[in-house]
């Protein structure tokens, strides 16, 4: 395990750094990767050569927070996806399965429709986060009604809540009073990282980092849960409490990601599944690898989204869907029997 973790972690961490430097250097203001590295080092407080004020502002105030938010979002979706796939024992489970994405979408749409996003800079991410967490609690609450919990009930509750919240979002969109609000809603629902600032890093960063650490600590228990409840219980795992803690932590990570990026689909599905094929099913390895792999995935998607049709941008969620949807279809065809085991 330690060798796989060390080798895989080194490769993926190097990819995060390389992709980050390339992404920081690309844009309307052309800055070399070497200059980007020096500017980042300068931002950390070290003495470096002097740079033009414009280049420094572009890196420190525009591109760097965007890249950090993108990496954090990918990390959150990656670890949440790995956790969900482990809990459901199915490679097609996704963080959105428990209603987090739909709840976040509803919270954001309410903030936009009420005009709060223009009055208070952080209103939209805060409403989105509140909606995401409330939806997750609602799904879990439905699943435990009557005192008996099962993953199948949780799945069905998630499907129902996702559909219900999606209907509310559609109704709000239909009755939006002007086209500008409609455009803002559609942009948010498509998922993106434009105009991300250090405030977004401060909102999502601690929640995502903390959730990732908790899931790493609980990776051994998740391995045991994948063997079945009876086996896990015989190994000393408090099954109900552990499952609830894993679900809540994955929901927290996903909610924080949705709050600052909108709905970016398929990252939590594709990343853990691909890495599981390479690294194996041990969650002590898979969860940290999914964190780094998810970060790379979103950072690459964001870079392509910024550059492919300059000066306009493609929404990151559109690009990840272009990659993820065919992958999901192929996975669905390959695993027909396992789909119905849910």
Residue pair 5/288 in contact (Cβ under 8 Å)? The answer is yes
For residue 48, what pLDDT band results from cuts at 50, 70 and 90? low
pLDDT at residue 75 tops 80: yes
CB atoms within 10 A of CB 47: 6
Q: Is the dihedral of CA 82, 87, 93, 94 positive or negative?
A: negative
For residue 140, what pLDDT band results from cuts at 50, 70 and 90? confident
Residue pair 81/73 in contact (Cβ under 8 Å)? The answer is no
Question: Domains of the chain by range and CATH?
Answer: 2-340 (1.10.3470.10)
H/E stretch holding 43 reads helix 33-43
**pLDDT per residue as tens digits for the range 247-304:** 999 999 999 999 999 999 899 999 999 999 899 999 999 999 999 999 999 999 999 9
For residue 52, what pLDDT band results from cuts at 50, 70 and 90? low
- Which token pair is 307? 């550059």
Tell me the average pLDDT across 41-57: 74
pLDDT at residue 340 tops 50: no
Tell me the average pLDDT across 196-217: 95
Residue pair 260/204 in contact (Cβ under 8 Å)? The answer is yes
- Token look-up 């223009």 returns 118
- pLDDT at position 97 is 85
For residue 341, what pLDDT band results from cuts at 50, 70 and 90? very low
- pLDDT at position 19 is 95
What whole-number percentage of the chain has pLDDT above 70?
A: 95
| Global pTM value | 0.91
- Which token pair is 161? 């809540």
Residue pair 172/295 in contact (Cβ under 8 Å)? The answer is no
User: How far is residue 1's CA from residue 17's CA, in Å, rounded to a whole number?
Assistant: 24
User: How far is residue 215's CA from residue 253's CA, in Å, rounded to a whole number?
Assistant: 10
Residue pair 294/274 in contact (Cβ under 8 Å)? The answer is no
**SS3 letters across 90-125:** CCCCCHHHHCHHHHHHHHHHHHHHCCHHHHCCCHHH
- pLDDT at position 29 is 82
User: How far is residue 282's CA from residue 220's CA, in Å, rounded to a whole number?
Assistant: 8
Q: Is 286 exposed, middle or buried (0-12, 13-18, 19+ CB in 10 A)?
A: buried
Cis preceding-peptide flag for 311 (omega within 30 of 0): yes
């Amino acid at each position: 395990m330690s060798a796989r973790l060390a080798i895989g972690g080194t490769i993926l961490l190097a990819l995060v750094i390389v992709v980050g430097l390339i992404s920081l250097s690309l844009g309307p203001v052309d800055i070399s990767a070497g200059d980007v590295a020096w500017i980042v080092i300068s931002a950390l407080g070290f003495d470096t050569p002097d740079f033009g004020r414009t280049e420094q502002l572009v890196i420190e105030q525009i591109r760097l927070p965007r890249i950090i938010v993108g990496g954090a979002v990918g990390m959150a979706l990656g670890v949440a996806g790995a956790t969900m796939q482990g809990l459901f024992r199915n490679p097609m489970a996704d963080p959105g399965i428990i209603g987090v994405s739909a709840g976040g979408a509803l919270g954001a749409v309410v903030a936009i429709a009420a005009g709060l996003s223009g009055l208070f800079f952080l209103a939209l991410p805060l409403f989105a986060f509140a909606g995401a967490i409330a939806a997750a609690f609602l799904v879990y609450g439905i699943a435990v009604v009557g005192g008996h919990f099962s993953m199948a009930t949780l799945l069905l509750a998630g499907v129902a809540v996702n559909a219900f919240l999606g209907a509310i979002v559609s109704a709000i969109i239909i009755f939006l009073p002007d086209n500008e609000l409609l455009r803002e809603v559609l942009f948010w629902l498509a998922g993106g990282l434009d105009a991300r600032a250090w405030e977004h890093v401060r909102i999502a960063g601690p929640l995502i980092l903390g959730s990732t650490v908790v899931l790493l600590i609980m990776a051994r228990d998740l391995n045991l849960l994948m063997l079945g409840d009876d086996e896990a219980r015989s190994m000393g795992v408090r099954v109900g409490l552990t499952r609830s803690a894993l679900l809540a932590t994955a929901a927290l990570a996903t909610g924080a990601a949705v709050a600052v990026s909108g709905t970016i689909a398929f990252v939590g599905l594709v990343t853990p599944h691909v890495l599981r094929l390479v690294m194996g099913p041990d969650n002590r390895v898979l969860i940290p690898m999914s964190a780094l792999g998810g970060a790379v995935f979103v950072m690459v998607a964001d870079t392509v989204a910024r550059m492919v049709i300059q000066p306009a941008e493609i929404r990151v969620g559109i690009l990840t869907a272009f990659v993820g949807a065919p992958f999901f279809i192929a996975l669905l065809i390959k695993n027909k029997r396992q789909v119905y085991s849910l």
